[in-house]
Amino acid sequence: MATMLQPQIILLKDGTDTSQGKPQLISNINACVAVADVIRSTLGPRGMDKLVHDEKGNTTISNDGATIMNLLDVIHPAAKTLVDIAKSQDAEVGDGTTSVVLLAGEFLREAKPYIEDGVHPQLIIKSFRTAANLAVRRIGGLAISLEGKDEQEKRRMLVRCAETTLSSKLVGGEKEFFAKMVVEAVLSLGADDSVKMIGIKKVQGGSMTDSFLVHGVAFKKTFSYAGFEQQPKKFENPKILLLNIELELKSEKENAEVRLTDPAQYQSIVDAEWNIIYDKLDKCARSGAKIILSRLPIGDLATQYFADRDIFCAGRVVEEDLQRVARATGAAIQTTVNNLDPEVIGTCQVFEERQVGNERYNVFKGCPGVKTATIVLRGGAEQFIEEADRSLHDAIMIVRKAVKHSSVVPGGGAIDMELSRYLRQHARTIAGKAQLFINSYAKALEVIPRQLCDNAGFDATDVLNKLRQKHALASGEGARYGVDINSGGIIDTYANFIWEPAVVKANAIEAATQAACLVLSVDETIRNPRSQEPDGQPQGGMGRGMMGRGMGGMAGMRGRGRGMRRRM
């Protein structure tokens, strides 16, 4: 008997590529582990740097996890998750970007054997989330609070936190010098701790120790016209006017047409243009301001006009610097010179233009408005200064978090080993498969001290055995012991001032666990080519993305090239 042909339903358009199931999940895990292996060697004080250069010839030398992940052109959709958590860690707490990627990769590495053995990913995800919650609560119990300490003691603890962050950076050789500078900059902001109020300016030349801190605003001298050198370069208690208008003669931008009946009228038109610019300049001078800054150009006519009246001016000031000057001096940026009230004029105690290396810098000190600070960085190669900038940004973020949350934990892998011991002990009280998964999670936390040893050239197995023995003491005194990066042994990291804010470690564990659980929840990847409609517009499709179990239930639908079909 002849069989009837069953109708076919085309679900996805031609060219759709799908892969699903266990092989796809293992492939995603392998991709994430490969990304983690790229930056593994950058962790810790003995970490190595990565040199990244692009097709434009731009070169970046860095050991900052977020910077490296940003520069890597990761195209694997699952591995991009690790790039995102590095960015989020950098935005939230500023440091720990390498640690968060390493932890996420290690969680997935530990989960891989269970996936290969047929364990359902949701069981692993549930256990990992439970372990993360336990770990974060344990961090809260181990944290040492800075509350109740006097100002000097608190400042010393903040300097220690900054030194711990800078020890793994390119400027680690001068960590004491820069740590004090960073703490002083952050504390000088007072209640307004916005990171935008701390400017970092880079000047090539000199040594690192030639860097200095300005309690106020400093920015590079802008492009100037003839007559600038005749202007005064230092004022005490000057009035400051900030503008967002051009102060120069400009030709008509529109297609204006002027009809003249008498050639003598032409001169009146020329005079009108000069009268307009002189009227603006007169109003600026009558305001009493001795310093005039503008985001737009200040031409040669205005520059000479102000020089004749002992007024300092600068045009083309960068928007960020102009905003900082406005908040610091109490001035308001004006878009007109009409009706300049005294309320819109700012002031400061001292203004001066000083030489820094081969550059001239405008410096405002003693500002009465919102507190601000500027760090002027010195150094040799451009790549070195750029990395020093990134290093100081991390330290600034760490100190800000320590000030706001005021609790620290021992660094050097001590907190990771203690969390690992705590979770192993907790796993013994659980029956079933969850015991294995939480135990694997605990083992993954040891990746931080292990990598610190590997990067320093020490025997990681020997050091970890000593740490496990120390942390297993019933008295609990071993909870502060971590890796001694100098001798290759173990050390009380808290007593030796190797500290990090508790919020950094808690955020790293939470973010790494979420990323690992996200990757484990994906069992199908669909790549949908963006084909063209006849009118040239891209055809709507599902794009490139990852689909979780909610859409992964199309178990019977497969196909390559011709789309996905199911026999009815």
Is 459 noted as a catalytic residue in this protein?
no
Of 97, 164, 303, 493, which residue is the catalytic one?
A: 97
Strands 499-501 and 407-410 come out as antiparallel
Q: Which of 197, 180, 123 is nearest to 437 (CA)?
A: 123
pLDDT digits over 309-360, tens only? 888 988 898 888 898 888 888 888 888 888 888 888 888 888 988 888 888 8
- Supply the pLDDT for residue 262: 79
**Contact by Cβ (8 Å): 392, 169:** no
As a whole number of angstroms, the distance between CA 17 and CA 530 comes to: 12
For this structure, is 64 an active site residue?
yes
Q: Which of 18, 98, 222, 329 is catalytic?
A: 98
DSSP bridge partners of 292: 241, 313
**164 in active site:** no
Burial of residue 270 (CB within 10 Å: 0-12, 13-18, 19+) is exposed
> Among the listed ranges 163-167, 242-246, 363-367, 524-528, which one has the minimum average pLDDT value?
524-528
Q: CA–CA distance from 342 to each of 293, 324, 333, 335, 380 (Å)?
A: 16, 19, 13, 15, 44
Residue among 64, 95, 416, 454 flagged as catalytic: 64
Domains of the chain: 17-145+410-521 (1.10.560.10), 151-215+375-405 (3.30.260.10), 218-251+273-369 (3.50.7.10)
Catalytic choice (321, 394, 416, 523): 394
Which pLDDT does position 553 carry in this prediction?
Answer: 37
> Measured between alpha carbons, how far is 293 from 229 in angstroms, rounded to an integer?
16
Q: What percent of the chain is predicted at pLDDT more than 70?
A: 86
The closest alpha carbon to 386, from 60, 24, 81, 72, belongs to: 60
- Residues in CB range of 207: below 8 A, 6 or more apart: 378, 379
Residues 6+ apart with CB under 8 A from 309: 285
End-to-end CA distance of the chain: give it in Å, rounded: 19
Q: Say how far apart CA 396 and CA 178 lie, in whole Å.
A: 10
Interval 129-177: pLDDT, tens: 999 999 999 998 888 887 767 778 788 888 888 888 888 787 878 888 8
pLDDT for residue 531 = 46
Question: For residues 390 and 94, what is the distance between their CA atoms, to the nearest angstrom?
Answer: 10
Residue 501 contacts residue 403 (beta carbons within 8 Å): no
Is the distance from CB of 529 to CB of 16 less than 8 angstroms?
A: yes
**Angstrom distance (rounded) from CA 443 to CA 131:** 12
98 annotated active-site: yes
Distance, in Å, from the CA atom of 184 to the CA atom of 179, rounded to the nearest integer, reads: 9
pLDDT digits (tens, 9 = 90+) for 79-128: 888 888 888 888 887 778 888 999 999 999 999 999 999 899 999 999 99
> For the residues of 389-424, what is the DSSP string, one character each?
HHHHHHHHHHHHHHHHH-EEEETTTHHHHHHHHHHH
Helix boundaries (H) for 167-254:
175-188
Amino acid at 95: D
CA atoms lying within 13 Å on the CB side of residue 553: 2
Check residue 253 and give its pLDDT.
Answer: 54
Dmax (CA) for the chain in angstroms is: 109
Which amino acid is it at 518?
L
